Chain A
Amino acid sequence: MNWMTTIFYFFGAITVLSALGILFTRNVLHATFLLMLSFFSVAGIYVLGNASFIGVTQLLIYVGGILILMVFGLMLTTKLNGKALVTENHNRLIGVLLGTVFFSILSYIIIFSANFEMLKSNKTLPENAVEFIGINLMSNYLIPFEIAAILLLVALIGAAVISEKRKEKQE
C-alpha cells in the first residue's frame, strides 16, 4: 500500500466518520461543523482522483458558501431562545427500516451496475485540467457558459425577492 492509497483511505475514513457523526449528534451546530469536515475530505478525495478543479470548487462553493448559508439559516431560526438547538428522534423503527431498504437498493445498483472498467481504460487525462476546462469553456461550451450567467442572474433576483417577502411577513 503506497502513500497515495494511505491518504485516500485517510480522507475516506474522515468522510464516513464525520457523516456518521452528523447522524448521531443531537446538536445542530455540531452537525454543521461535521458536515464541513465531510465536505473537506471529499474535496481531498477529488484531488486524489486527478480532479483537482472539482476539489477546489468543492472547497470554494460547499465549504465556503453553502455551509455559511447553513450556519446563517441556523442563526436566523426563530426557535432560538438562548439554548442550543437540538434535534429529537421520532419514528425510529420506520426510519431505520426505510433507511436500510434505501441503502441496500443504492448499494445494489452501484455495485452491480457501475462500470469500474473506465478507470482501467487508456484514455489519457489532460495534463492541466484547468486550462483544458478554460479553453473548452471559451470555445465549445460558450453558449452554455453564458446561459449559466443568466441562470445565476435568475437565482440572484429570486433569492433577493424571496427574502424580502419573508421580512415583510415578520413585520
Chain B
Amino acid sequence: MSNETASFGEILIYLIGGIVFISGGLFTAWIIRPKRPNEEKLTTYESGEDPLGGAWGQVNIRFYVIALIFLLFEVEIVFLFPWATVFGREELIEATDGLWGWVALSEMFVFIFILALGLAYAWRKGYLEWDKPEIKPSDFKGPVPTEKYNAINHKYSKFTSEQPKK
C-alpha cells in the first residue's frame, strides 16, 4: 500500500463521518419529533408560495450547452493537475538549465489557448446567450392615480432606507 492510497483513507473517514452525522441527526429527529402531518405541512416548501405542478417539468435547453462546455473544461482541469505538480520543480528546472519551466509553461498556455478559442467561438456565435422571456408592459390603467401612490410611498419612506420610486 503506497502513501497515496493511505491518504485516501482519511477521505474515507471524512465520508463515513459525514454519513454518520447526517443520518444520526435525521434518526434522532425521527425518534423525538411528534408526527402529526396534514396537507399543508406535506406540500413542498417554496418560500411561502404554493407550488404549481410537480418537479417533473421541462427545463430550458440552454442549460445543456452550458453543461457541455463545463464538461470540456473539466477535462482540461484533469490535464492541469499533473502539470501543476511538476512545472515548477526546482531539480527539473536546474537539470535542464531553466528550459523545463519555460517549455511546461508555454505548452500549457498553448493548451488553454486552444480551448479558449472554442469558448470564444461559442461566445461570438451567441451560443452562450440566454433566451430571456419578453416582458410586455400591459396597457392596464388602474383607477388609483399615480400621485396617490407617490404620496403613500413618500409618507412611509422614513420607515425604510429605500427612497420612493418616481
Q: Hey, which bits of chain A sit against chain B, CB under 8 A?
A: 4, 7, 44, 47-48, 50, 52-53, 55-57, 60-61, 64-66, 68-69, 72-73, 75-78, 80-85, 125, 127-131, 133-135, 137-138, 142, 145-146, 148-150, 152-153, 155-157, 159-160, 163-164, 166-167, 170
Contact = CB atoms under 8 A, between A and B. Distances in A.
B1 A4 contact: yes
A71 to B, nearest CB: 9
Q: Secondary structure of the B side of the interface?
A: helix
A149 B110 contact: yes
Interface string B83-102: 11111010010000000100
Q: Secondary structure of the A side of the interface?
A: helix
B77 A60 contact: yes
Nearest to B118: A156
A22 B158 CA distance: 61
B87 A138 contact: yes
Nearest to B68: A159
Nearest to B127: A160
Given A130-B82, A138-B107, A156-B118, A61 B72 contact: no
B56 A159 contact: no
Contacts of B84: 134
A4 to B, nearest CB: 6
B86 A134 contact: yes
Interface in B10-47: 12
Given A128-B4, A131-B82, A145-B107, A156 B63 contact: no
Given A65-B74, A72-B63, A82 B54 contact: yes
A76 B127 contact: no
B83 A138 contact: yes
Contacts of B8: 47, 52, 55
A23 to B, nearest CB: 22
B61 A157 contact: no
A133 to B, nearest CB: 4
Contacts of A76: 58-59, 61, 63-64
Contacts of A47: 5, 8
B92 to A, nearest CB: 7
B71 A66 contact: yes
Nearest to B59: A75
A83 B56 CA distance: 6
